[in-house]
Structure 1
Amino acid sequence: MVTLPCTAVLFDVDGTLVDSTPLVEAAARVWAAEYGLDADEFLSGAHGRRTSDRVADFLPADRVAAATARLDALEAERTDGITALPGALALLTAMNGMPWAMVTSMDKEQLRVRTGVAGVPLPPVVITAEDVPRGKPDPTGYLLGASRLGVDPSACVVIEDAPAGIAAGRAAGATVLAVATSHDRSELTAAHAVVADLTHVATGPGGLRLAR
């Protein structure tokens, strides 16, 4: 067992606690066709980032808001394929009083729907896309999450699945644990530690315990 010392945990959601990959990819392919874009290229760098930030990589600024709304609407049309990722529910129900928050690139409605379908509980502190001026890899979301928990970011473990989120957690000054649920381990090397999924994580005295 390896222990990551912390007094609080900041969880990413999509790809870390919840898997909504099928609906996200299906919606993106419809959307990309409508806008004359390559869906694979769009999806290649979309995971872990706010939709509006990724859309802005492809479209002029004056088209981003409408295009983002369209993609959000396409995603909202379906909930098939949404599931809790391995170990997520067990870990969240066994935090043993350790404070935790969610910091996600999803908007509030997406978060409500996807966690609801997956059966993942929402904590009192939730940071969504609407709460920050800049999305991951900017650290603002994680800094805000730690602040609302009343904990210094350096005393937090951030759990992430995507390179953009890992960069955000490290920039916030937190210890970052990556789960290899959406990306190959070779893409997660900037994290302090990597596990296959949350079945390898448990709370323990003084922090999170990792089974290797």
Structure 2
Amino acid sequence: MSPPADRSATTLTARAVLFDMDGTLVDSTRIVEQVWTMFAGRYGLDIEEILRSSHGVQAIDTARRFAPAGSDIQALTAELGRMELAETRGIIPVAGAVELLASLPADAVALVTSASRDLAEVRMAAAGIAVPAASVTSEDVTWGKPHPEGYLRAAALLGVAPADAVVFEDAPAGIAAGLAAGIRTVAVGPNTGELPDGVLRIPDYSGISVTTDVDGAGRRTLSFSF
């Protein structure tokens, strides 16, 4: 494992940018912890273990893993979803996210989230961030993170090869998904866990600058300076 890279010495060039939502663009920690604390209390489970493994993962996968045998997983997941949709207090954008998104061409950005489309729209609106036109939510994939399907689908939506994209992610499952898709992945925030060699970790987006250019083949490129 390598230490976090020196932000001042790092530049990444890409044609498309793929963002996770919770913890990456939107800070929804309070409501997420509230919902899973209720779930843990109902079944006498260890909330710390649930939070460690649920971050960045579809709710149905967490419910399936931790709920008692014989539970109606579909009904339980729907109940958790209703709770999350009903609460937006305390949801804010991650520092610098609004400014970074404003500096990017809209057609070069995609959202890839383990949340449902309804929940993504609610949380992004609560944080004052528009949902990108290209977005992949839980309904759009067969396999959730850490499987790479979501990120591969998003790259295809934007018409770029995985090698020409960059992923911003905050959770181990999402980071693993980005890397498995063959996409350079930047880890955001304090909950990334240990990172493979070469993966850059940043606390947030403050201080990042982006320049837009055209390469020798006439393709638009985005250069991120950290």
Same fold (TM over 0.5): yes
1:53-82 residue CA offsets vs partner (Å, 9 max, x unmatched): 111111347622122112112222311110
CA 1:141–1:15: 2 relative to 1, 3 Å: same
The Cα shift of 1:88 comes to 0.3
Name 1:26's counterpart in structure 2: 34
Structure index of larger Rg = 2
Aligned pairs for 1:7-86 (under 5 A) are 7-59=15-67, 60=69, 63-86=72-95
Residue 5 (structure 1) aligned with residue 13 (structure 2): yes
Task: Return the alpha-carbon distance in structure 1 between the equivalents of residues 70 and 196 of structure 2.
Answer: 33
CA contact (8 A) 2:107 2:158 kept: no
Q: What are the within-5 Å matches in structure 2 for residues 91-130 of structure 1?
A: 91-96=100-105, 99-130=108-139
Answer whether contact 2:106 2:132 (CA < 8 A) is retained: no
Q: 1:87 aligns with which of 93, 96, 105?
A: 96
**Residues 141-180 of structure 1 aligned to structure 2 (within 5 Å):** 141-179=150-188
After TM superposition, which residue ranges in structure 1, 4 or more long, deviate above 4 angstroms?
A: none
Q: Does 1:192 align with 2:207?
A: no
Equivalent pair of 1:162/1:188 in contact (CA under 8 Å):
no
Q: Which whole-Å CA distance do the structure 2 matches of 1:112 and 1:52 have between them?
A: 19
Once residues 82 and 16 of structure 2 are traced to their aligned partners in structure 1, the CA distance between those partners, rounded to angstroms, is 34
Q: What percent identity do the matched residue pairs reach?
A: 41
| 1:155-209, Cα deviation, whole Å (9 max, x unpaired) | 1000001111111001101111111x2416x523466211111113232244332
Partner in structure 2 of residue 210 of structure 1? 225
Following the alignment from structure 2 to structure 1, what is the Cα–Cα distance between the partners of residues 146 and 174?
Answer: 6
Tell me the amino acid that sits aligned with residue 23 of structure 1: I
2:125 & 2:88 partners in 1: Cα distance? Answer: 10
Return the match for 2:148 from 119, 132, 139: 139
Counterparts of 1:137 and 1:97, CA distance in 2: 26
**Where in structure 2 are there 5+ consecutive unaligned residues?**
1-7, 214-220
Amino acid paired to 1:47: H
Partners of 2:91 and 2:163 lie apart in 1 by 32
**8 Å contact 1:101–1:125 — kept in the other structure?**
yes
CA contact (8 A) 1:31 1:74 kept: no
1:32-56 CA-to-partner distances (Å, cap 9, x unmatched) read 2223322222112111111111111
Residues 10, 100 of structure 1: 8 Å contact kept: yes
Kept in 1, the 8 Å contact 2:190–2:203? The answer is no
Aligned equivalents of 1:191, 1:167: Cα separation in 2: 13
SS in structure 2 of the partner of residue 45 of structure 1: helix
Partner of 2:216: none
- What is the CA distance between 1:147 and its match in structure 2? 0.5
Q: How many residues align?
A: 209
Residues 30, 191 of structure 1: alpha-carbon distance in 2 compared, 3 angstrom cutoff = farther
Q: 1:13 to 1:191 in 2, by over 3 A?
A: farther
